[in-house]
Amino acid sequence: MPVQNENTKQIKSRQRVADHGEVFTNPREVNAMLDLVRDESFRLDSRFLEPACGDGNFLIEILRRKLSLLQDIKTPTEWEFKSLIAVGSCYGIDILPDNAESCRERLFTEVIDQIGKKGCTSGYEESLRYMLHKNIVCGDALTYRTAEDKPITFCEWTPIAGNMQFSRRDFQFDFLVTKNHQYSLFDEQGEVQSFDEPVRTYPPLHYTQLYRYEEHV
């Protein structure tokens, strides 16, 4: 896949490199690495987490690959719904607030640019921004804490195709990466096992109303 013409500078300043070890990956290397998992990167609902996402060099290319699957969709509402499936599968963490915000804005702009002059359904942009706010977190992936020193929590967005809705479950990041997870009702010895429990579950909402989840907090 050709890489769009973007700034390929790998550092913002020597001070940031010294303070945070911040070095950005060139788009050519990004796509070469993504090609190692090509099938997954072109699957709409395959989840990716970049634990040091910077301003989104990996996530923007992942999103572009996913959105390329929607080229033949003619119905605007179907395109919007499926684009949120793609966005909802992309997660990032960065320790610097300006990087996290830049990453959110790059992903938002990529989606809106692809909608173009057609415009979008009322509530779609608000839901898109809300999803990106939840999925791209300012925090430290090594301590599992946000910049506000709270546990990093990620949303699992599950599409409900028939109703163009999403259900939401929240999981703490440290639990996801440090615990042994049970995905079956029975272990190898046939003993009953319990599924992982989310921190919180929410009722389904239409894809244009996802920002209203804030009312449930």
Flag whether 2 is in a domain: no
Flag whether 115 is in a domain: yes
Residue 91: the pLDDT is 97
Flag whether 6 is in a domain: no
Residue 179: the pLDDT is 64
Flag whether 159 is in a domain: yes
The total number of structural domains in the chain stands at 1
Question: Quick one: tokens of 160?
Answer: 């409900």
Domain, as residue range, for 24: 14-216
Flag whether 194 is in a domain: yes
Model pTM score: 0.82
pLDDT averaged over consecutive 10-residue blocks of the chain (217 residues)? 44 48 64 89 95 92 96 94 97 95 96 87 97 98 95 96 94 80 50 66 97 85
Q: Which of 200, 202, 182, 178 is nearest to 191 (CA)?
A: 182
Rounded distance between C-alpha atoms, residue 116 and residue 151, angstroms: 37
Flag whether 4 is in a domain: no
Contacts of residue 59, defined as CB under 8 A and 6 or more positions apart, other chains included, come to 48, 50, 53, 90, 92, 103, 106, 107, 136
Q: Which residues of 116-145 are buried (b: 16+ CB within 10 A; e: fewer)?
A: eeeebeebbbebbbbbbebbbbbbbbeebe
Residue 181: the pLDDT is 54
- The conformation of residue 174, written as its DSSP 8-state character, comes to H
